[in-house]
Amino acid sequence: MSEPQTPDWVRDAVFYQIFPDRFARSDRVPKAAGLQPWGATPTIHGYQGGDLLGVSERLDYLEDLGVNAIYFTPVFQSASNHRYHTHDYSKVDPMLGGNAALRELLDRAHERGIRVVLDGVFNHCSRGFFPFHDLLENGQESAYIDWFHVEDFPLTAYHPDQPANYACWWGLHALPKFRIETPAVREFLWGVARSWIDFGIDGWRLDVPQEIDDDSFWREFRRRVKQGNPDAYIVGEIWGDGSRWLKGDMFDAVMNYIFTRACITFFIGKSLQRRHLEPEPLRDAQPADAREFAAQIDRMRGLYHPNVNAVLMNLLGSHDTARFRTLAGGDTSAVRLASLFQMTFPGAPCIYYGDEIGMEGGHEPASRGAFPWDESRWDLSLRDDIRRFTRLRHDEPALRRGSFETIFAEGSVFGFLRRLGDDAIVVLLNAGQDERIVTVALPKEIADGTMFADRLESGAIRLESGALRSVRVGPRSGRVLAAEARR
């Protein structure tokens, strides 16, 4: 098979993940009477009324942060605040503003060069999805009986203490699983994927795609999507090794939870609040020093082709995890340091909404709180630093498209080199509580006498005898040193 081809624009992307019910509300979208107050403690079932026009009205904020791509959790009509229980795949939920709101958001975002990726839930639907509702109403006489894995009658959809008599995701009666081998189901789902590409979205994030254990389904999914938009981004929710899907014939990338785990082990380390991690697949994360962290990164990079590594969605957290700051026991330095790594590492960084202003929250639903638009509640220093990191990434092509090489890994300090043509950037990260003074050897291709300017602070360091000598790296901080001779 030829090498995987991945969308070029993703190499330059800084993603921002939005949980639509909790990011922003617009007065232009009518609201139901039963909403929780904005900012109320998140609950499993309650709505707080965020919508897509609210996002459209906050694009200035996202653009200022350095975001140029948005990943939304599901937006289609659903009787759940997270909308993974899809009722109608052809309609944006009216509570989010309907199809017209998505149209406006896409148009406004695209005018600014901001891409929009939607969440595709194709393994299962909801009890309210019309073909399943028909099955509940008509039983064995339903025209859609072959759309689902029916085991017996009667079906028991609303009594979780009784057998459902149909296959459902993780045994949840509310989530009937599609019978993917049925031709009509396949055509329906491929049609959904293509129709929204034609509408103008820039790609799909795929929910639990490993549950559809059918490579031919995903190959045809890719063909249909790419036929509509060759630059569409297809990223799967795979928590471990995604090699099976990343050979160039199915997905472009995965949500890189291997990256997430590595960041937890090094940047949080022994401060990890394990009770918040226990309900999650990352629960086995253990504290790591720089050498162990480097080994994790090398193993991760060795899994995939360079074209895939360049577009992996690198995240510190998501709607399915506790927030990074909460895992760190409120230690903002962990968020700051991990974010610096995220913005200087190969792949597409993804900020979980509100992490940049210090939002906290344990395992879901606690991690799905409403964004506080009162700036007095923001950690402005953290926000400003993350904004500096995203701008640094945009300013330096080597940080987006350059090679990667580990050049230092001792104790609490991890260092790497990014190179693109004559550009060379050294990144040093100290996860320890004490200042470290290190000497870092660089490849002989970089000439002695080259001055490396600190891109975060003032000052410069001269390359002497093939090394940067006596480089000070403060506690819980990092340095980004860019070769000046290239300018």
The domain that holds 443 is classified in CATH as 2.60.40.1180
Quick one: pLDDT at residue 1? 55
Residues 337, 407 within the same domain: no
Global pTM?
A: 0.97
Quick one: pLDDT at residue 487? 43
Helix axes 98-111, 183-199, angle to 10 degrees: 50
Q: pLDDT truncated to tens, each residue of the chain (487 aa)?
A: 589 999 999 999 999 999 999 999 999 999 999 999 999 999 999 999 999 999 999 999 999 999 999 999 999 999 999 999 999 999 999 999 999 999 999 999 999 999 999 999 999 999 999 999 999 999 999 999 999 999 999 999 999 999 999 999 999 999 999 999 999 999 999 999 999 999 999 999 999 999 999 999 999 999 999 999 999 999 999 999 999 999 999 999 999 999 999 999 999 999 999 999 999 999 999 999 999 999 999 999 999 999 999 999 999 999 999 999 999 999 999 999 999 999 999 999 999 999 999 999 999 999 999 999 999 999 999 999 999 999 999 999 999 999 999 999 999 999 999 999 999 999 999 999 999 999 999 999 999 999 999 999 989 999 999 999 999 999 999 999 999 954 4
Residues 82, 190 within the same domain: yes
Quick one: pLDDT at residue 205? 98
**Does the residue 250 lie in any domain?**
yes
Sheet of strand 413-420, all strands in order from the earlier edge strand to the far edge: 403-410, 413-420, 423-430, 477-483, 451-454, 460-464, 467-473, 436-441
**Does the residue 193 lie in any domain?**
yes
Using the 3D structure, point to which of 395, 427, 448 is the last residue of a domain. 395
Q: How far is CA 447 from the centre of its chain?
A: 38
Question: For the domain that residue 72 is a member of, what is the CATH number?
Answer: 3.20.20.80
Residues 115, 219 within the same domain: yes
Q: Name the residue with tokens 């070029």.
A: 8
Catalytic one of 51, 57, 119, 237? 237
Tokens, residue 331: 């230690």
The answer to whether 179 touches 142, Cβ cutoff 8 Å, is no
Residues facing 389 on adjacent strands? none
Residues 246, 305 within the same domain: yes
**Does the residue 164 lie in any domain?**
no
d(CA 211, CA 118): 19
Residues 216, 307 within the same domain: yes
Tokens, residue 110: 């695209």
**Does the residue 357 lie in any domain?**
yes
Question: Which residue range is the domain that position 288 belongs to?
Answer: 8-123+180-395
- Sign of the four-CA dihedral 88, 94, 100, 102: negative
**Does the residue 264 lie in any domain?**
yes
Residue 187, C-beta contacts closer than 8 angstroms, at least 6 positions apart = none
Residues facing 420 on adjacent strands? 423
Using the 3D structure, point to which of 351, 376, 395 is the last residue of a domain. 395
Q: Is 237 a catalytic residue?
A: yes
Residues 198, 345 within the same domain: yes
**Does the residue 19 lie in any domain?**
yes
Using the 3D structure, point to which of 346, 369, 395 is the last residue of a domain. 395
d(CA 102, CA 90): 12
Residues 335, 423 within the same domain: no
Quick one: pLDDT at residue 486? 45
Residues 333, 439 within the same domain: no
Residues 462, 343 within the same domain: no
Helix axes 380-395, 332-344, angle to 10 degrees: 10
Alpha helix segments (H runs only) across 57-182 = 59-65, 98-111, 130-138
Residues 419, 362 within the same domain: no
Quick one: pLDDT at residue 2? 80
The answer to whether 147 touches 178, Cβ cutoff 8 Å, is yes
d(CA 264, CA 296): 12
Residues facing 236 on adjacent strands? 206, 254
In total, how many domains does the chain have? 2
Residues 62, 192 within the same domain: yes
**Does the residue 92 lie in any domain?**
yes
Amino acid letter for position 248:
G
Quick one: pLDDT at residue 485? 54
**Does the residue 242 lie in any domain?**
yes
d(CA 48, CA 111): 29
Nearest C-alpha neighbor of 274 from the set 315, 325, 328: 328
Catalytic one of 57, 207, 289, 385? 207
Residues 313, 356 within the same domain: yes
Establish how many alpha carbons lie within 13 A of residue 209's alpha carbon, considering only the half-sphere containing its beta carbon.
Answer: 29
Q: Is 252 a catalytic residue?
A: no
